[in-house]
Amino acid sequence: MELEDAWEQNDKMLKGNLIRDEAFSFALQIMGLAKTLRQEKEYELSSQLWRAGTSIGANVEEAQAGQSRADFLAKMTIASKEAREALYWLRLADKGKIISAEKIAPVREQSERIVRILTAIVKTGRESKDQSKIKNSGAKRKTTFAGGANQNGRWQALGANPKFKIL
């Protein structure tokens, strides 16, 4: 199988994964902004924004292959922190008048949306873990939350409106 076929197969398998799609789209926008910042000779800000903005998607991708719920949550928590850091650098570029407000506004809005989604995933995951401990009291059950095991047994974010349930 060629590399392009593998990419297409992976994309089809994870199609409809809101946070994955948002993080990837955001990384592309960050790459464009970083290029603009470099042209303005704002190398440090460009570098910081690049690292934080592209790290979100990388951590979300890693979470999709989490070996456990704890691993999934750890990666999503890191992605959430990186999203907040990227938002900080965007605010700094905006308020420092390094990039025009018109150019940065849609990227800031997407960053804020990603922070909200990741916060919901992490919060729901932690709450379901605590709830599962209370309800299970020794019973062996499988728990799903803002992410769950897909057909391959990998943990995956389920989207913007996750629901907690015991299977």
3-class secondary-structure state, position 92? helix
pLDDT in tens, the chain (167 residues): 566 665 565 555 556 799 999 999 999 999 999 999 999 999 999 999 999 999 999 999 999 999 999 999 999 999 999 999 999 999 999 999 999 999 999 999 999 999 999 999 999 988 876 665 655 555 554 444 455 555 555 556 655 444 443 33
Q: C-alpha angle with apex 159: 50 to 122, nearest 5 degrees? A: 70
Q: Of 12, 20, 104, 89, nearest to 52 (Cα)?
A: 89
CATH topology assigned to domain 3-123: de novo design (two linked rop proteins) (1.20.1440)
Give me the phi and psi of 103, to 5 degrees please.
-75, -35
| Residue where the block lists tokens 């409809």 | 16
At 44, list the tokens: 């440090």
